[in-house]
Amino acid sequence: MSQTAVPDAVRQAVEGIAMRARSAGRELAQWGTDVKDAALHAMATALVEAGDGIVGENRADLADGERDGLSAGLLDRLRLDSGRIAQIADALREVAGLPDPVGEVLCGRTLPNGLRLRQIRVPMGVVGMIYEARPGVTVDAAGLAVKSGNAVILRGGSAARRTNGAIVAVLGEALEREGLPRDAVQTVDDYGRDGARALMTARGMVDLLIPRGGAGLIQTVVREATVPCIETGVGNCHVYVDSAANLDEALRVVVNSKAQRPSVCNAAETLLVNQQVAQAFLPVAARALAAEGVKLHADPRALALIPGDVDVVPATEADWSTEYLSLDLAVGVVEDVEDAIEHIQTYSSGHTEAICTRDLATATRFVEAMDSAAVIVNASTRFTDGGQFGLGAEIGISTQKLHARGPMGLTELTTTKWVVWGDGQIRT
């Protein structure tokens, strides 16, 4: 996105949307869990009922996308059909079943002067989401926002503009029928990239901005946003196979971490193998990975141990920091756990790192040294996920340290408020 100024008309329009969102959020914050849950069920029903219309708009987006030469992967993520809409609607019903974080008392005490102090969980207010052309995210974000008492302002990919417009209209009407403010779910998609930039810089009007998508999108938003923003999702995840690993178990963990779903942020991108077990492990692992279609990018020591019939190229410096999101894996041989730690500290994006070892001291050292959202001992990196962790639906995975780290669910869409009840106390 360019650094030229946002046109005044766009800024005013987006600020108008944000002010209506603020007002809707204030109203939503006052409704109880039962009202919000009823609205989520109504939103789900309305989506299914409006399915044909939404699919029609989606077909138009897909036709434009094909004309504009979108990749098959992007078109696939954009595509909706009645089965997919039913899944998306079910996800809303699941959010309705989650506990409501709003109103939770986090701590409290009566102070020596008699003041009664409480720290209470409250909605953020206005949440912004900037994401790519995945219509399911539109619904997920709206559902999580409503449940947590927030208004949401959406900016989906331009390739999904008509689909998202249809979805937001349906959700808004459902909210209105349930007596909730329609402006709780709005989009700035009509204003293109300028709209996104106005949203990123609407200081005082947006309480939390979450970018979700590829590394380019996230870096742009984090760099340009002047509203509070959370960095999500870039996952350059590592698996380290220690000298004390159970190699059969390590093989399953490595293959699963890389190949079970390579396109997502918790898939492994680099395998580090302790030199003591490299000769025993690497040839077997290379063949098993090759059987899954994985292409290896190997350092010289690993390269020497990989069988000639395996698809492998020499690793470049760039490979160590690349989030492939594909069936590619960087492979290196390290001296020991300290060497592995140093490598990971140098190249990691702070998402998930795993170690395979049966040695307790080594596992503990690795867990303490890793500065990532999740550290996993003897299991697949693929477990870093709100659903897998038992946290319910997630709106993204934070790779920063402020406010939220790791899978972000309903709780991460709230803030707190100190409430103090007194009877005339003053400071002396």
Helix (H, G, I), strand (E, B) or coil at 369: helix
User: Of the candidates 30, 52, 72, 346, which one interacts with a second copy according to CB under 8 A?
Assistant: 30
Assess 35 for contact with a second copy (CB under 8 A): no
Q: Which is nearer to a second copy, 42 or 363 (CB)?
A: 363
Q: Which stretch binds a second copy (CB under 8 A): 129-137, 154-162, 234-242, 376-384?
A: 376-384
Quick one: CA torsion of 220, 221, 225, 230, rounded to 10 degrees? -130
Rounded to the nearest 10°, the torsion over CA 297, 299, 301, 306 is 10
| 99 forms part of the interface with a second copy (CB under 8 A) | no
Is residue 65 within 8 A of residue 160, CB to CB? The reply is: no
| Residue 241 binding a second copy, by CB under 8 A | no
The vertex-102 CA angle with 101 and 104, nearest 5°, equals 75
Length of the chain counted residue by residue? 428
Q: Which helix (H) or strand (E) holds 365?
A: helix 360-369
Residue 401, interface with a second copy (CB under 8 A)? yes
Other beta carbons within 10 Å of 94? 14
Q: Is 291 in the site for a second copy (CB under 8 A)?
A: no
207 binding a second copy? (CB under 8 A): yes
Cα 387 from Cα 91, distance rounded (Å): 12
Q: Which is closer to a second copy, CB of 71 or CB of 428?
A: 428
Q: In this complex, which beta carbon is closest to a second copy, that of residue 157 or of residue 407?
A: 407
Distance CA 144, CA 17 (A): 19
Q: What's the min distance (Å) between Cβ of 1 and a second copy?
A: 15
Binding residues for a second copy, rule CB under 8 A, total 69
Which of 52, 67, 346, 427 forms a contact with a second copy (CB under 8 A)? 427
Q: Kindly compute the dihedral angle of the four CA atoms of residues 237, 158, 164, 137, in this order, to the nearest 10 degrees.
A: 10
Given 98, 124, 142, 174, the residue binding a second copy (CB under 8 A): 124
* Phi, psi torsion values for 112, nearest 5 degrees: -55, -30
Question: Which one, 13 or 379, has the nearer CB to a second copy?
Answer: 379
Considering only the stretches 75-83, 306-314, 323-331, 385-393, report the one whose residues sit in contact with a second copy under the rule CB under 8 A.
385-393
Whole-Å CA distances, 340 to 259, 355, 362, 363: 22, 10, 11, 12
Residue type for 99, please?
P
In angstroms, the CA 275 to CA 281 distance is 10
Given the complex with a second copy, which of 48 and 228 has the nearer CB atom?
Answer: 228
CB 296, CB 289: distance < 8 Å: yes
- Please say which residue, 93 or 405, places its beta carbon nearer to a second copy: 405
For residue 399, CA distances in Å to 17, 94, 408 come to 29, 25, 10
Q: Which helix (H) or strand (E) holds 297?
A: strand 295-298
- Of the residues 87, 263, 279, 388, which one makes contact with a second copy according to CB under 8 A: 388
Which segment (120-128, 132-140, 158-166, 329-337) binds a second copy by CB under 8 A?
120-128
| CA separation for the pair 418, 128 (Å, rounded) | 24
Segment interacting with a second copy (CB under 8 A) among 45-53, 87-95, 135-143, 386-394: 386-394
- Element holding 102 (H helix, E strand): none
With binding defined as CB under 8 A, does residue 425 bind a second copy? Answer: yes
Q: Which stretch binds a second copy (CB under 8 A): 67-75, 166-174, 219-227, 272-280?
A: 219-227
Q: Which of 13, 19, 29, 38 binds a second copy (CB under 8 A)?
A: 29
Contacts with a second copy, 329-368, as mask; x by CB under 8 A: ----------------x-----------------x---xx
User: Which residue number, 279 or 415, has a Cβ lying nearer to a second copy?
Assistant: 415
Q: What's the DSSP call for residue 325?
A: -
Residue 12 binds to a second copy (criterion: CB under 8 A)? no
270 forms beta bridges with 238, 330
Residues 6+ apart with CB under 8 A from 17: 153, 183, 186, 188
Identified binder of a second copy from the candidate list 186, 236, 243, 256, rule CB under 8 A: 256
Binding region for a second copy (CB under 8 A): 26, 29-30, 109, 111, 115, 117, 122, 124-125, 203, 207-208, 222-223, 226, 228, 230, 246, 249, 252-253, 255-257, 260-261, 345, 363, 367-380, 382-384, 388-390, 400-403, 405-406, 415-428
